[in-house]
């Protein structure tokens, strides 16, 4: 059984089919990349699989159960959580307290929630910034808080929406290391990302969306040499630079 599976997922906006009969699966322990040119349907697909939008057709299954129609908070309690492209930590709360918001999702007991918050803060490299306020953080710091908040909910599967957007090349390298540690901690991940260096470095498998359809799936190596993928990216830079137009 796959940890996660989307079967023939379709989402339309009026006459526009943003996601068209997409099959997608994730096995325990994998990092799966999701790429595609601008407007390919990545965000829409992400919104559907994380419960923020309902598919018009198809099924989304996590741990063998359909989660279509379930609230994101319920899906999070089951062990699947997501991050957002635009990261807004609570500005007047410390880094610790921001992360505790995630930890309390899973633990009612304050001591246990605190312990979890400390643990994920160390994992993402925020230990030294624990007492900083949300508004004092750089983009890179805010991205790490977003990641830590998601991790504090103790996910089995984490969906990451452009965690590298707006980061400098050295910050991207730092974040790749962090995600490597997250994987070692046993968290399975799906990554939507424009920074190809990240996708190619981290992903075990990659799905490519184009005009709402999954046109290719395979190892990073097979994807880069796939003629359908090259054609889909015609006119766009396939090797996007960190901190590009998708900076938030």
Ligand X SMILES: Nc1ncnc2c1ncn2[C@@H]1O[C@H](COP(=O)(O)OP(=O)(O)OP(=O)(O)O)[C@@H](O)[C@H]1O
Q: Which is nearer to ligand X, 16 or 185 (CB)?
A: 16
Q: Which is nearer to ligand X, 40 or 60 (CB)?
A: 40
> Buried b vs exposed e over 82-105: b needs ≥16 C-beta within 10 Å?
bbbbebebeeebbbbbbbbbbbbb
In whole angstroms, how close is the CB of 77 to ligand X at the nearest point? Answer: 26
238 binds ligand X (CB under 6 A): no
Q: Which is nearer to ligand X, 44 or 153 (CB)?
A: 44
How many Å apart are CA 125 and CA 152, to the nearest integer?
14
* Nearest Cα to Cα of residue 112 among 152, 73, 144: 152
In whole angstroms, how close is the CB of 211 to ligand X at the nearest point? Answer: 9
Q: Which is nearer to ligand X, 39 or 72 (CB)?
A: 39
How many Å apart are CA 23 and CA 20, to the nearest integer?
9
Q: What x/- string results for residues 7 through 46 when contact with ligand X is judged by CB under 6 A?
A: ------x--x-x-----------------x-xxxxxxx--
Please, are residues 203 and 128 in contact by the beta-carbon 8 Å criterion? Answer: no
What are the residues binding ligand X (CB under 6 A)? 13, 16, 18, 36, 38-44
């Amino acid at each position: 059984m796959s940890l996660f599976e989307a079967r023939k997922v379709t989402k339309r906006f009026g006459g526009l089919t943003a996601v068209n009969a997409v099959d997608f699966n994730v096995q325990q322990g994998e990092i799966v990349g999701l790429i595609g040119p601008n407007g390919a349907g990545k965000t829409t697909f992400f919104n559907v699989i994380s419960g923020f939008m309902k598919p018009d057709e198809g099924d989304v299954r996590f741990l063998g159960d359909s989660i279509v129609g379930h609230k994101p908070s319920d899906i999070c309690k089951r062990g699947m959580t997501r991050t957002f492209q635009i990261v807004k930590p609570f500005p007047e709360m410390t880094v610790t307290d921001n992360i505790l918001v995630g930890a309390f999702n899973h633990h009612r007991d304050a001591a246990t929630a605190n312990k979890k918050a400390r643990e994920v803060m160390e994992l993402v490299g925020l230990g030294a910034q624990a007492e900083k306020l949300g508004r004092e953080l750089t983009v890179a710091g805010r991205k790490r808080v977003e990641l830590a908040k998601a991790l504090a909910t103790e996910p089995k599967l984490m969906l990451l929406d452009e965690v590298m957007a707006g980061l400098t090349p050295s910050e991207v390298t730092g974040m790749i290391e962090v995600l490597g540690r997250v994987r070692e901690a046993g968290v399975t991940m799906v990554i939507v990302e424009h920074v190809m260096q990240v996708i190619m470095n981290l992903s075990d498998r990659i799905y490519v969306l184009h005009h709402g359809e999954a046109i290719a799936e395979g190892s990073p190596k097979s994807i880069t040499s796939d003629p359908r993928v090259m054609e889909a990216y015609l006119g766009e830079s396939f090797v996007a630079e960190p901190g590009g137009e998708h900076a938030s």
